[in-house]
Amino acid sequence: MITGKNCIAGEFSAKGNVEFKTTNPKLNIQNETTFVEASSEEIELAVTSAWDAFKVFRKLPGDKRAEFLNAIADEILALDQELLDTYCMESGLPEGRAIGERGRTMNQLRSFATLVANEDWRENTFDAAEPDRKQMPKDDLRKTMIPLGPIAVFGASNFPLAYSTAGGDTASALAAGCPVVVKSHPMHAGTSELIASAIVKAAEKTGMPKGVFSSINGGIQAGVDLVSHPKIKAVGFTGSITGGRALFDLAAKRPEPIPVFAEMGSINPVIITPNAIAKRGNDIAKTYAGSITLGTGQFCTNPGLLLTIKDENTEAFINELAKETIALDAQCMLHPNIKSGYVSKGESVTSQDGVAIVGQLKGDLDPNYAASAVATVSGTEFLKNTKLHQEVFGPFSLVVQCKDEAELLQVIEELEGQLTGTLIAEDNDDLDIAEIVDALQNRVGRIIYNGVPTGVEVCPSMQHGGPYPASTDSRFTAVGIHAIKRWVRPVSYQSFPLELLPEHLRK
């Protein structure tokens, strides 16, 4: 049962005086439950409890933390239909998406449980002493990774489960030995509370320290208070550039600056060679229409920018892409604010000089349903106007027609950092594919060949991050087991007696 309260160190509490409700975007009405934003007292208690828990939690053997993570997955599944119904009611997304995202969330938890069941993930190194070495004796040195401390996690609007309360940030932080304080996303506060209750049950069943997890409701001020707290040691965020950069700047100004690992969106350039268009343009158009509109375009990997070189086939391809895109049924967006943002940013791009709308879904739509659109512009105009580089969060893509290969490379090189870059090409293509790949890899975290960027596999080889502003630190991934590296730091032990070393460094 959803109470509307905050989860503070395993107890549900509502001491604040600011209330809000979530929205059912399909029905365009507010949902019934009233949620209470956390008070400053509750935020203080959540963080200090996390700090106290850290002293115990960081020392637990990996198999105990693995037991906890697996128990969370079990408790999430036990929420059954109530979780699915709440998810759909607060997001407008279909039940099939809810089931898929629930499975992804559970798989993430179980993959981190498998990772930390032994200590290999710490990348331990051992350098034996050489007391008789000439010139200068060498001491015994051993290095390992240790957890940073309590982590603040901000839930994402577009993934109520996989990037939110028990999502990848929380799962990887708990796996590392870091307690977590989540600021739930206000668009799906009910979903977040249900997941919080599952984590609390799992913590109780596996004997975790009481403050190992908390979840608070709130707006901007709650986020500021959380990141500013001296006992928070790092931040995980998925959301807008504006929000992520504000948290990054706030964390940097603290007396003790802390890292912010923010994933802030992307337009995910797709290079389609003229040879590929000539040989299979209609198939590419159909495939990319599906990718552009998948999930109403509300993925951080949505292909918002298509790049090609103009020739005799370009116009027909763009028209086919537009036709295929707007032929797909309109879908509901996550929230009225996201719908209004989509309309506003779309109009901002399409109103720029040289931009032409090739196709846009017409007709009467329900209030929070999105009209998909495809627009086009020349490479010259795109290079002159950085307003054309902004993300339009929704089912929209801009096709840039470059005059030649040199201009195509210039467009790629002048893009901001991106999560993904895709190359659609033919064997023995006329373009210098190696040079295009070289240009792409300097701007993106993941390169796809003859595929689509939508869909992020959870596996060790996945890199979900990229140069700023795709993420605040391109050396790390937000998806897959290597996400754990964000929440740890290396420590060396020199000339230590074995009995004083951590268990995993004694050999």
Look-up of token digits 């609390």: 200
Residue 456 domain flag: no
CA–CA distance, 491 with 489 (Å, rounded to integer): 7
Give CA 201 to chain center in angstroms.
26
Residue 462 domain flag: no
- Residues 253 and 274 reside in one and the same domain: no
Sign (positive/negative) of CA torsion 238, 242, 244, 246?
A: negative
The 10 Å CB-count burial string (b at 16+, else e) for 19-32 is ebbbbbbbeeeebe
- Residues 186 and 282 reside in one and the same domain: no
Q: Which domain holds residue 167?
A: 6-130+139-264+471-505
pLDDT at 1 over 90: no
Nearest to 149 by CA among 51, 250, 56: 51
pLDDT at position 196: 98
Question: Would you state the structure tokens that stand for residue 475, as one six-digit string?
Answer: 């050396």
Q: Helix (H, G, I), strand (E, B), or coil: what is residue 95?
A: helix
Average pLDDT over residues 356-383: 97
Sign (positive/negative) of CA torsion 370, 376, 379, 385?
A: negative
Q: Helix (H, G, I), strand (E, B), or coil: what is residue 447?
A: strand
Residue 458 domain flag: no
Domain at 300, CATH number: 3.40.309.10
Q: Which residues are catalytic?
A: 263, 300
Residue 162 domain flag: yes
- Residues 341 and 379 reside in one and the same domain: yes
C-beta separation of 454 from 424 below 8 A: no
Domain at 21, CATH number: 3.40.605.10
pLDDT at position 430: 95
CA–CA distance, 481 with 113 (Å, rounded to integer): 10
Q: Residue 48: CB partners within 8 Å, gap ≥ 6? A: 211, 231
CA–CA distance, 410 with 415 (Å, rounded to integer): 9
C-beta separation of 459 from 480 below 8 A: yes
Q: List 462's β-bridge partners, or say none.
A: none
pLDDT at 402 over 90: yes
Give CA 468 to chain center in angstroms.
14
Q: Helix (H, G, I), strand (E, B), or coil: what is residue 166?
A: coil
Nearest to 262 by CA among 416, 486, 105, 444: 486
- Residues 72 and 118 reside in one and the same domain: yes
Residue 454 domain flag: no
pLDDT at position 385: 98
Residue 1 domain flag: no
Sign (positive/negative) of CA torsion 25, 28, 30, 31?
A: negative
**CA 275, 276, 278: angle at the middle one, nearest 5?**
65
- Residues 273 and 251 reside in one and the same domain: no
pLDDT at position 265: 84
* Model pLDDT for residues 202-261, shown as the tens digit of each residue: 999 999 999 999 999 999 999 999 999 999 999 999 999 999 999 999 999 999 999 999
The overall average pLDDT reported for the chain is 97
- Residues 355 and 369 reside in one and the same domain: yes
Q: Residue 128 — pLDDT band, cuts 50, 70, 90?
A: very high
Average pLDDT over residues 288-303: 97
Residue 116 domain flag: yes
Average pLDDT over residues 312-340: 97
Average pLDDT over residues 84-90: 98
95-116 vs 80-91: helix crossing angle, rounded to 10: 120
Residue 235 domain flag: yes
Amino acid found at 260:
V
Domain count, the chain: 2
* Model pLDDT for residues 453-493, shown as the tens digit of each residue: 999 999 999 999 999 999 999 999 999 999 999 999 999 99
- Residues 238 and 295 reside in one and the same domain: no
Average pLDDT over residues 145-171: 97
Q: How many CB atoms lie within 10 A of CB 52?
A: 18
Q: Helix (H, G, I), strand (E, B), or coil: what is residue 317?
A: helix
- Residues 289 and 361 reside in one and the same domain: yes
pTM of the prediction? 0.96
- Residues 340 and 318 reside in one and the same domain: yes
- Residues 168 and 286 reside in one and the same domain: no
- Residues 209 and 239 reside in one and the same domain: yes
pLDDT at position 498: 94
- Residues 181 and 231 reside in one and the same domain: yes
Average pLDDT over residues 8-25: 97
Strands 260-263 and 234-238: parallel
